[in-house]
Amino acid sequence: MFISSAFAQTAPAATAGGDLQSTLTSMLPLVLMFVVLYFVMIRPQMKKQKEHRAMIDALAKGDEVATVGGVLGKVVKLDEAYIKLEIASGVEVQLQRSAVVQVLPRGSLK
């Protein structure tokens, strides 16, 4: 009894214009979410990476820096990929340039 009534019902004929419009309307929230995600998360992160890269490229001998691990020191030697930091009198460590998080104002290390 239920099966025969289900087969008896027919779906309304879909028009090509209405189908396209409903597809675009259903995709609109997804597109809007991506746009918001781009401006809230992706764009600021790219800007931050660009600033960090510029800071790394501008490192010079004698700069006082802080590293990812919290080590503070003075740059004594620069290489293409590595730097040497003097963390204490006569103690030097070699680190990757990308490990530098912040360039400190001169004279902040004593």
pLDDT digits (tens, 9 = 90+) for 75-97: 999 999 999 999 999 999 999 99
The pLDDT confidence band at residue 5, using thresholds 50, 70 and 90, is low
Same domain, 81 and 47: no
Same domain, 32 and 67: no
Does the global pTM surpass 0.75? no
pLDDT digits (tens, 9 = 90+) for 16-57: 556 888 888 889 999 999 999 999 999 999 999 999 999 999
Phi-psi region of 57 (alpha: psi -120 to 50; beta: other; left: phi over 0): alpha
What is the domain extent for residue 81? Answer: 60-104
**Burial (Cβ within 10 Å: 0-12, 13-18, ≥19) of residue 109:** middle
109 located within any domain? no
Same domain, 64 and 50: no
3 located within any domain? no
99 located within any domain? yes
